Amino acid sequence: MDKTPRWALPMLFAGQAQKELFHNEALTLIDALLHGRAQSADVAVPPSAPEPGQCWVVADGASGAWEDHEGDIACWTEGGWRFLMPKAGLFIDLADRGHAIFHDGSQWRDGAIRNDGLYVEDERVVSERQAAIAAPFGGATIDAEARATIAAILAALRAHGLIAA
């Protein structure tokens, strides 16, 4: 086997000539994957002036140097574009979305934790933190049990950080 099974990193062999080339290629690919961050997952055309180390998740309809690499991670290096095929479980933080995406083995999906809340199956189940809710008071008829229950609910929401104190 001349490459690692998961990310196809080049392996070194005894007596191999120019080992530094294979070693450096492996380091370049690891650098792209380790704590991965991409500029966007919505771009299908390679940028005109990328900086070394910048990466993108190639969008559908890719053209130019990215043609036939839809869904791959494209990283610009001093030696040109390097492409990595995603594997199930890979998370990449996206600069333009402000949250991570992950690969489920067949496609990229938005992560559960986003700037505007927590999502389960792309449905927001916890939203942004809201303003404080005033504790119940007054009224012509005071129902102590109802007020105690509401106060307990508010205390739980505040304890979990879902609303301000």
Is the pTM value of this prediction over 0.85? no
pLDDT in tens, 44-80: 999 999 999 999 999 999 999 999 999 999 999 888 9
Q: Are 83 and 73 in contact (CB under 8 A)?
A: yes
**CA–CA gap between residue 69 and residue 118 (Å, rounded):** 31
Q: Are 7 and 29 in contact (CB under 8 A)?
A: yes
Q: Are 23 and 38 in contact (CB under 8 A)?
A: no
- Give the confidence band of 17 by pLDDT, cuts at 50, 70, 90: confident
